[in-house]
Amino acid sequence: MKVPICLLLITWFGQICFAQQMISGKVQEANTQKPIPFASVNILSENKIVAFKTTDKEGRFMMQLSKEYTTVYLQIHHLTYEKFEQQIDKKSTDLRIVLTPKTNLLKDVVVKSKPKVSRSNDTISYDVGSFAKEEDRNIGDIIKRLPGMEVTESGLIKYQDKTVSKLYIDGDDLLEDRYGIGTRTIPHRMVKDIQVLDNHEHYKVLKNKRFTDDVAINLVIKEDAKLKLTGQAKIAAGTPNNYDPELNTILFNKKVKMLNVLSANNIGRDLSGDVVGNNQSSLLAKFGASAIHNLLATSTTGAPNIPKNNYYFNNTGSLNTNNLYNFKNRWQLKSNIQLLFDKERQNNAASTRYLLDGGDVSFEEQNGIRAEKWLGVARLSASVNTEKKYISEILSFEYEKKDIKALLTNSTSKIDQFQKHHIKGVSNQFSYIPQLKNNDIIAVNWTLNYGNKPQSLQIYPGVFSEILNDSIPYKSTTQQIEVPSFFTEVSTGYHFNKSKIKQHYQIGFNTDRQHFTSLLYLQDNEQIDRRPRQNTSNDLHWSRSQVFITPQYDWKNDRFEAHLDIPITYLITQYKDNTQVLDISKNSWLINPGLKARWRVSQEDYLQFAYQYSQDIGNIEDVFHGAVLRNYRMLSQNNAALNESQKHAFNLNYNLGRTLKVLFANAGISYSRLSSNTMLSSIIKDDITENILVNMDNLQEHWSSQIGFDKYIFPLASTLKLKGSMAYSRFNQLLNSSVVPIKSINYTLQPSLEAKIFKSYNISYTGTLNWNRSKQQGKDHLIRNKTTMMTHNLGFPISPFKNGFIRVNIRNLSTFQTNMKNASYTFIDVFARYRLNKWKTDFELDMSNLTNIKNYRTYMTTANMISQNEFELRGRTILLRAVFNL
């Protein structure tokens, strides 16, 4: 019996020893190795806490287990460090545990005092009622005033210097990129909040699955505004013979959204942006990979640096319909149809002097232009956009017809010009992006575009007789161009979501076919058409096919995320013109890697970096060899191989937000370096400019930086905005067979302040100060030119009595330049409104340019050119308007 009893005693004693097994260790910070006191240490088994302790001042802990457990977990909590949890051995002593610091991000910050601004993650909400003022007519007026926001004259919206890609209405993309019609038409009283969606992902199935830096806006509609159809009828007439009527209907509910506008005016309001859109470089969405733009022109004079309504003489009619239907199965049907007719006239004059080593060259012209155009766009789409899939089918038709008549007078003669172009195009886009059962995503896309753009230019009398007609004067010159184009692309991709580094691989194929034909005709006094002897025709067949694969990688943790894409393309380019004995085929491998990274310093601050390397092979405009008459004084052709270029581009930006203080700021710097194997050679003479693309190494460098600061000042109930930028460029020009190095630097400062003086009296100021310095290093001497331009806009908005509002606006524009006479203009505008609540009607008086300025001069100086342009302005106008709220 003694032996068994001894064995039992030994076994019992061993169990007691194991039950009292010691677990100890020290908790330290990962970066500094400093001890972490007051951390909660828990021992868990089967999801239950079996022991707990708090670390001492040295970060140490020591615990004993009361009994034996199958598995043991160690768990450590601290407010300022990431949670630690790990299975440990039953005999764990002198453990060394490191904790990673964490940032406690505020999920929701709300400013309770007016104005109301809130933030939730990447969404900022502005309470419209807090920012609205008596003078505001539409939601665009509110957006202009919001801290951090900017609206350009064309209607393009920017947030912290980033372009807004979409404007949603209660989450629906009714207007696409043509959102200017919405900001100008939607009454601000319908909108509860304006939400800014930073780092926005349009495809819900891809949300939080890939890197994005897009910005969008969502208008949150008030509940009572969703109940019925609303709208406005505007009737306006004035002097001299002015009119501006408009009828619009608006309905924004969950099932149906519509915004339809019928309008006409001759007061200088340009409606073409409602058709073209804010984010498209040309009217026709995309003919193909190498679109042909307007090659012909009747004038060499640009636009002045003043609002377009001052110099735009128009008679415009427009129909803009946008209708969207949401179905229960989450499918969405949408139609966007825009039609526009416009008659326009311009009178301008230009005096230009080129500063060249071989002697200055000058020319002068006066131009009277009459234009008539039709624009039409129809887009029909069906789509579903959910967390599980995205399907979209978009069919588009686009049309433009424009006829221009111009009478030009220069120092030696009068020239009649007739220009026409006629665009017709159709495109189809299909996308299918589903999420699979394993949470991976596939994507299938197909794009098809076809379009044609015939252009012609007739000039009376004939030009360049010494070049085109053996120095014999002749009756007229006619240039014709036509470029039918076909483009299609098919691609598919697969998105892996399981790993920490998300991977996406896309493969695809596209082809681009274009036929560039141009003919130059001369008509003699006997009205016989004939071709000149010189090389002035093209019959160029262009073909380009690409096979590509694009690996993309996304990585994200709590504060840092990065996106890398490495598109690899095999490019086959062929172009042939039998009339020019031209038959070229070129195969190329292109690798264009891009990297984007964003480090979130805090919930509202982040630093963003981007780098892009781009290899590019030129397009059809670089290779036609027959001369083309671009305007009355310019011949253009190419005498070089296909342009090949490489570009490095860097961007670094810091965005800062303080929602509680209603303060937003951003700063950034960028650099780009472009090198290519071709350069444009310009031969400038008194009566002709010849542009020829030639083989020559070409290097361009560009530096720029910008800073923006927006702050709401609570005591003054005002918004202060300040924006500044600097840009430096260095490049070469080939002028009259001499390579001319050119450097330029530009500084811009744009302050803005809107403040309340008394209860009903306000003051506003916006200004632009621009300094430009450029220099040209010629063979014999250095040419320096300086330009300073200042614009000051001072407004006095007041509400002197109930339902009444008056605004007086004074605007001064001044220009100071080297070797040119200074210019200064002051415009005064007055606007008044009285609201008759009983009739739901506003009566408005709009008086513009009361100083009756009818001619406006601009001066532009570059390193090798001094130009003076003069434009006819509208003069004094008075308009009475009645606005009936339906």
DSSP string, 304-359: -SS-GGGT-EEEEEEEEEEEEEE-TTSEEEEEEEEEEEEEEEEEEEEEEEE--TT-
Whether residue 792 is contained in a domain is answered as: yes
| Residue 9: band (very low, low, confident or very high) from pLDDT cuts 50, 70, 90 | very low
Pull the structure tokens for residue 326. 């949401």
| Average pLDDT of the residues in 822-832 | 93
Of the listed ranges 465-479, 564-578, 607-621, 868-882, the one predicted with least confidence: 465-479
| Average pLDDT of the residues in 520-544 | 85
Same domain, 136 and 216: yes
User: In a 10 Å sphere around its CB, with 0-12 CB exposed, 13-18 middle and 19+ buried, how is residue 9 labelled?
Assistant: exposed
Nearest by Cα to 377 from 316, 419, 336? 336
Percentage, residues of the chain above pLDDT 70: 93
DSSP string, 77-130: EETTEEEEEEEE-SS--SEEEEE-B-----S-EE--SSSPEEEETTEEEEEHHH
Asked if residues 156 and 162 have their Cβ atoms less than 8 Å apart, the reply is no
99 - beta bridge partners? 29
Same domain, 89 and 153: no
Mean pLDDT value across the chain? 87
Using the 3D structure, point to which of 185, 205, 227 is the last residue of a domain. 227
Q: In CATH, what number is assigned to the domain containing residue 36?
A: 2.60.40.10
* 239 vs 784 pLDDT, higher one: 239
The kind and range of the H/E element at 10 are helix 2-19
* 68 vs 567 pLDDT, higher one: 567
User: In a 10 Å sphere around its CB, with 0-12 CB exposed, 13-18 middle and 19+ buried, how is residue 11 labelled?
Assistant: exposed
Cα distance between residue 523 and residue 477, in whole Å: 7
Same domain, 843 and 756: yes
pLDDT of residue 72: 83
* 786 vs 729 pLDDT, higher one: 729
Q: What is the pLDDT of residues 508-530, one digit of tens each?
A: 999 999 999 999 989 887 667 78
Per-position b or e across 343-374, b if 16+ CB within 10 A of its CB: ebebbbbbbbbbbbbeeebebebbbbbebebe
Whether residue 56 is contained in a domain is answered as: yes
* Beta carbons within 10 angstroms of residue 536's beta carbon: 22
| Average pLDDT of the residues in 465-481 | 89
Q: Is the pTM of this model over 0.95?
A: no
pLDDT of residue 93: 80
pLDDT at 665 over 50: yes
Same domain, 164 and 80: no
| Average pLDDT of the residues in 840-864 | 88
Whether residue 273 is contained in a domain is answered as: no
Tracing tokens 């470029």 back to the chain, one arrives at 483
Of the listed ranges 650-664, 773-787, 818-832, 834-848, the one predicted with least confidence: 773-787
Of the listed ranges 106-115, 250-259, 287-296, the one predicted with least confidence: 106-115
Tracing tokens 């636009």 back to the chain, one arrives at 303
Whether residue 672 is contained in a domain is answered as: no
Whether residue 22 is contained in a domain is answered as: yes
Same domain, 757 and 886: yes
pLDDT at 1 over 80: no
Strands 718-735, 663-684: pairing is: parallel
7 is in which domain, residue-wise?
A: 2-99
Q: How many domains does the chain have?
A: 3
The kind and range of the H/E element at 149 are strand 149-151
pLDDT of residue 293: 66
| Residue 20: band (very low, low, confident or very high) from pLDDT cuts 50, 70, 90 | low
Whether residue 811 is contained in a domain is answered as: yes
Nearest by Cα to 191 from 150, 136, 148? 136
Same domain, 83 and 145: no
pLDDT at 287 over 50: no
Pull the structure tokens for residue 231. 């709208």
Q: What is the pLDDT of residues 39-62, one digit of tens each?
A: 888 888 877 778 888 888 888 988
| Residue 787: band (very low, low, confident or very high) from pLDDT cuts 50, 70, 90 | confident
pLDDT of residue 780: 58
Tracing tokens 């609206």 back to the chain, one arrives at 151
Whether residue 801 is contained in a domain is answered as: yes
| Residue 766: band (very low, low, confident or very high) from pLDDT cuts 50, 70, 90 | very high
pLDDT of residue 19: 45
553-556-559-561 Cα dihedral, nearest 10 degrees: 10
The kind and range of the H/E element at 842 are strand 841-848
Same domain, 116 and 71: no
Same domain, 769 and 862: yes
pLDDT at 7 over 70: no
Of the listed ranges 537-551, 690-704, 736-750, 781-795, the one predicted with least confidence: 781-795
| Residue 455: band (very low, low, confident or very high) from pLDDT cuts 50, 70, 90 | very high
DSSP string, 364-404: EEEEEEEEEEEEEEEEEEEEEE-SSEEEEEEEEEEEEEEEE
Asked if residues 759 and 749 have their Cβ atoms less than 8 Å apart, the reply is no
Same domain, 773 and 859: yes
Same domain, 85 and 153: no
Beta strand ranges found along 500-643 (DSSP E): 501-523, 529-530, 538-556, 560-565, 568-577, 582-591, 594-600, 606-617, 628-631, 634-639
| Average pLDDT of the residues in 496-510 | 91
* 311 vs 785 pLDDT, higher one: 311
pLDDT at 130 over 90: no
Tracing tokens 């200064």 back to the chain, one arrives at 824
* 854 vs 465 pLDDT, higher one: 854
Q: In CATH, what number is assigned to the domain containing residue 158?
A: 2.170.130.10
pLDDT of residue 847: 95
pLDDT of residue 284: 38
CA atoms within 13 A on the CB side of 550: 18
Cα distance between residue 215 and residue 208, in whole Å: 15
* Beta carbons within 10 angstroms of residue 804's beta carbon: 14
pLDDT at 2 over 50: no
Pull the structure tokens for residue 154. 């064309």
| Residue 285: band (very low, low, confident or very high) from pLDDT cuts 50, 70, 90 | very low
Give residue 784's identity as a one-letter amino acid code.
R
Q: What is the rounded end-to-end Cα distance, in angstroms, of the chain?
A: 107
Pull the structure tokens for residue 95. 């453990």
pLDDT of residue 12: 41
The kind and range of the H/E element at 477 are strand 476-482
pLDDT of residue 774: 86
Tracing tokens 């038709």 back to the chain, one arrives at 397
Cα distance between residue 458 and residue 436, in whole Å: 60
Using the 3D structure, point to which of 45, 68, 99 is the last residue of a domain. 99
Using the 3D structure, point to which of 99, 134, 157 is the last residue of a domain. 99
| Residue 4: band (very low, low, confident or very high) from pLDDT cuts 50, 70, 90 | very low
Whether residue 137 is contained in a domain is answered as: yes
| Average pLDDT of the residues in 560-582 | 93
Same domain, 125 and 202: yes
Asked if residues 316 and 308 have their Cβ atoms less than 8 Å apart, the reply is no
Same domain, 24 and 146: no
| Average pLDDT of the residues in 805-824 | 88
Cα distance between residue 314 and residue 346, in whole Å: 9
* 390 vs 7 pLDDT, higher one: 390
Cα distance between residue 459 and residue 299, in whole Å: 12
